[in-house]
Copies of this chain bind each other. A is one copy, B any other.
């Protein structure tokens, strides 16, 4: 209903993780400024983000962690688990499987694909691997709606095409290229090279501030 910005979505995802940790520690309530300190924003921003999803806190006790988690879940998550396909079972792909499989309540990597026949039909970190040729069939069988592109750049576009043809509606792309996809498919890029170059740039900037050349 309400239009919520891309950044707010990201922050809600972040808040949720801190809230889960707090709940695990036995906490029941939290104030906006506490959550802001954990997540690295301002209290006003936290309040605005929470308001955007239609949850209200109490001026005395702050936010009820359990109920806030429920609200964020209702907002961010689908009503049922969304199935994800991973394409590319190299080092990165295996790291993603190790990190995600069985860990996420509402997003599940249910199948992995690789062009290397030696990887097909093996189970890696609890996830079954298939030859890329089977993508379309498996994607329909398993109702896969999201794809992760973890193949080298030269293969990424053809993998994206396969995933789109198989009916996915969103891609998480690790390849350092721009993917061309149908308009209704959402692409989120993780560009490690860009991130490292940004770190290098801003690290030098802060160094320059501390040690002015004159």
Give the interface of A toward B (CB within 8 A).
6, 9-10, 13-14, 17, 38-40, 76-78, 82, 84, 90-92, 94-96, 98-100, 104, 106-107, 145-146, 148, 168-172, 176, 178, 184-188, 190-207, 209-210
Contacts and interface: CB of A to CB of B under 8 A. Distances in A.
B10 A198 contact: yes
Given A17-B176, A196-B107, A146 B184 contact: no
Interface residue SS majority, chain A = helix
A2 B76 CA distance: 39
Copy count, this protein chain: 2
A104 B47 CA distance: 42
Contacts of A146: 196, 199-200, 203
Contacts of A194: 10, 13-14
B206 A169 contact: yes
A143 to B, nearest CB: 13
A204 B172 CA distance: 14
A94 B91 contact: yes
A89 B76 CA distance: 33
B195 A210 contact: no
A84 B13 contact: no
Contacts of A91: 91-92, 94-95, 98
For A78, A171, A204, which residue has the most chain B Cβ atoms within 10 angstroms?
Answer: A204
A6 to B, nearest CB: 7
A64 B188 CA distance: 31
A169 B200 CA distance: 8
